[in-house]
Structure 1
Amino acid sequence: MSRPLNHSEATSATGTGTADDDDTGADAVLVIGATGTTGRRVTAGLVAEGHRVRAASRSAAPVGGARAVRFDWNEPATWDDALRGADRAYLVPPVGSSDPAAAMLPFLRRARAAGVRRAVLLSSSAIPAGGPAVGRVHQELPGLFDEWAVLRPSWFMQNFAGSAPHARSIREDGTIWTASGDGRVGFVDAEDIAAVAVRALTDARSPDTDLVLTGPQALSYDDAAAIIAEVTGRAVTHRHLTFEQLRDRWAAEIPLDFAVMLAGMDRAIADGSEDHTSDTVERLTGRAPGSFRAFVRREAG
């Protein structure tokens, strides 16, 4: 599952130069969070297939082949320009918000009025329709758009790479810290999530359902640590924390209510909530999802 700390990190660059600046007509795809973990991959996939893309981020950072536009969930004044000419939208929730519906639902009503006919929402395998955080948006989406999909990926493999928390702790002390116990997770590559998103946005037939996305096998964090150690040649261990210990560790970086929610998701993993895999990636893209070992090899390389 995507951690909100990894979503849609905007860069400080500005500018709007693109390979196709004339996208103010109909049939453009709005990608919100276009510089983030999934958004930049979705944008690249759409551009590669020849679609016009409005790449939305807080800084309007340039994205190759797309029209960069400024967008901020908390600034409604940015919404109309981002929506101009868009008939489909990829939606990444506000970063770090425990109540994303407060901003997202007013925007989605405006998007519908502006001509958006298909919406694809990034949620989580851990959050059902009507559940906490983005679960309320999931629940409302079918009533707002005739064509829709909710992507519910398991935890991202990218949480072990770059500036993500697990990657930092591995680099700093060779440790992965969780409260997931021996619970297993069907870790999924953001490349596969983006590939499914492109299909959900552009295929003639809209999914009109939620799509649980996983990798090919469920692994415990002990398994993940062992694979990382084997591939990289450095010692990596999984440190088992209690719910309270993880909550307090998160609370040093993010608001307490959000820290409680994230620690609770780890506790759910320990209880088996993520111990499953799905065939969604292969069914929608025609290729098998990437393995965790392949991901680590790619990142190590």
Structure 2
Amino acid sequence: MPGTTLVVGATGTTGSRTAAGLTAAGHRVRAAGRRAKPVAGAEPVAFDWYDPATHGAALDGVGRVYLVPPVGDTDPAAVMLPFLRRARAAGVRRAVLLSSSAVPAGGPAVGAVHEALPGLFDEWAVLRPSWFMQNFTGTHAHARGIRDEGVIRTAAEDGRVAFVDAEDIAAVAVRALTDARAPGTDLVLTGPEALSHDDVAAIATEVTGRPVVHRRLSQEQLADHLTTEVPAPFAALLAGLDRAIAAGAEDRVTDTVRRVTGRPPRGFRAHFEDARRSRPES
């Protein structure tokens, strides 16, 4: 497919990796973010979901888009759907949306965008990854809790999650954007094993050599705790997703990463060990 690929959120967890994968494969990439920051091999462009004045330059000459929804917005469709209609009018043929394994088409937040996407583009895919491994090793509250306090706080109880590496999400995104045939469906992406947060705490303890515990909170306690990180409505949404984990909603493993990329997904321990080596103080 001719044209440039616009990567929205190109400095974020999956966007940066997707942009890197595309440029490494020789594709032209426009790296979009609130500030036009240099991204290796890509053309930087300023982009703000809430500022339509930034949308025209971002879309000029673009044939494909990778869409990371605005962070913390419980109704992203309000800004995303007008942009997507504009993208279609500007000549975008293929759209790949980052959603979540916890949010089906028509579900809350980005679920409304997922539901609308097939009616907007003939070529499309929705990536629905499980919870990111990077949440425990980057700048997320879980990672900071491990480093600073030796604590992981959730309302997930004994619920298990097949955490997925952002590198695997990006590898699937690159294929969904560039393969001759678009997936035309949603793709649930997981790691190779489902783990409880007690399991995660045990791995973190073994790898770091410092005690890490899983502190179990009620849904209300977690929502209150998260309001220090995100707006209250989004905190309530996240706490509700933890309760869904407790009920078994994320206790599944898929073969999607292997099927799409031809290689197995990375395991949690391997990710955590590598992150520890690259950041010894974590």
TM-score of Structure 1 vs Structure 2, range by shorter chain: over 0.9
Partner of residue 259, structure 1: 235
Does residue 77 (structure 1) correspond to residue 77 (structure 2)? The answer is no
Partner amino acid for 2:107?
Answer: G
Q: Offset of 1:252 from its aligned partner?
A: 2.8
CA distance in structure 1 between the aligned counterparts of 2:152 and 2:271, rounded to whole angstroms = 17
Does residue 146 (structure 1) correspond to residue 122 (structure 2)? The answer is yes
Partner of residue 86, structure 2: 110
Q: What SS does structure 1 have at the residue aligned with 2:83?
A: helix
Does residue 53 (structure 1) correspond to residue 29 (structure 2)? The answer is yes
Q: Offset of 1:27 from its aligned partner?
A: 1.1
Partner of residue 215, structure 2: 239
Partner amino acid for 1:152?
Answer: R
Q: Offset of 1:64 from its aligned partner?
A: 0.5
Partner of residue 123, structure 1: 99
CA distance in structure 1 between the aligned counterparts of 2:9 and 2:228, rounded to whole angstroms = 25
Q: Offset of 1:254 from its aligned partner?
A: 2.1
1:233-271 C-alpha deviation (Å, 9 max, x unpaired):
111110011111101101233222111100000000000
Does residue 160 (structure 1) correspond to residue 145 (structure 2)? The answer is no
Partner of residue 28, structure 1: 4
Q: Offset of 1:73 from its aligned partner?
A: 0.1
Q: What SS does structure 1 have at the residue aligned with 2:251?
A: coil
Does residue 170 (structure 1) correspond to residue 146 (structure 2)? The answer is yes
Q: What SS does structure 2 have at the residue aligned with 1:50?
A: coil
Does residue 132 (structure 1) correspond to residue 112 (structure 2)? The answer is no
Partner of residue 7, structure 1: none
Q: Offset of 1:232 from its aligned partner?
A: 1.5
CA distance in structure 2 between the aligned counterparts of 1:182 and 1:96, rounded to whole angstroms = 26
Q: Offset of 1:162 from its aligned partner?
A: 2.1
CA distance in structure 2 between the aligned counterparts of 1:216 and 1:269, rounded to whole angstroms = 17
Does residue 183 (structure 1) correspond to residue 152 (structure 2)? The answer is no
CA distance in structure 2 between the aligned counterparts of 1:278 and 1:253, rounded to whole angstroms = 31
**What is the CA RMSD across the aligned residues, in angstroms?**
0.7
CA distance in structure 2 between the aligned counterparts of 1:234 and 1:252, rounded to whole angstroms = 26
Partner of residue 215, structure 1: 191
Identity across matched positions, percent = 69
Which of 52, 55, 71 aligns to 1:95? It is 71
Q: Offset of 1:54 from its aligned partner?
A: 0.4
Does residue 63 (structure 1) correspond to residue 39 (structure 2)? The answer is yes
Partner amino acid for 1:269?
Answer: I
> Unaligned regions of 5+ residues in structure 1, if any?
1-25
Q: What SS does structure 1 have at the residue aligned with 2:205?
A: helix
Bigger mean CA offset, 223-232 vs 247-256: 247-256
Does residue 226 (structure 1) correspond to residue 187 (structure 2)? The answer is no
CA distance in structure 2 between the aligned counterparts of 1:70 and 1:255, rounded to whole angstroms = 24
CA distance in structure 1 between the aligned counterparts of 2:35 and 2:25, rounded to whole angstroms = 25
CA distance in structure 1 between the aligned counterparts of 2:129 and 2:253, rounded to whole angstroms = 10
1:255-292 C-alpha deviation (Å, 9 max, x unpaired):
22111100000000000000001000000000000000
1:139-160 C-alpha deviation (Å, 9 max, x unpaired):
0000000000000000000000
> Unaligned regions of 5+ residues in structure 2, if any?
278-282
CA distance in structure 1 between the aligned counterparts of 2:150 and 2:41, rounded to whole angstroms = 39
CA distance in structure 2 between the aligned counterparts of 1:226 and 1:60, rounded to whole angstroms = 40
CA distance in structure 2 between the aligned counterparts of 1:208 and 1:281, rounded to whole angstroms = 16
Q: What SS does structure 2 have at the residue aligned with 1:196?
A: helix
CA distance in structure 1 between the aligned counterparts of 2:50 and 2:182, rounded to whole angstroms = 29
Partner of residue 279, structure 1: 255
Partner amino acid for 2:235?
Answer: A
Extract structure 1 runs of 4+ deviating beyond 3 A. Answer: none
Partner amino acid for 1:177?
Answer: R
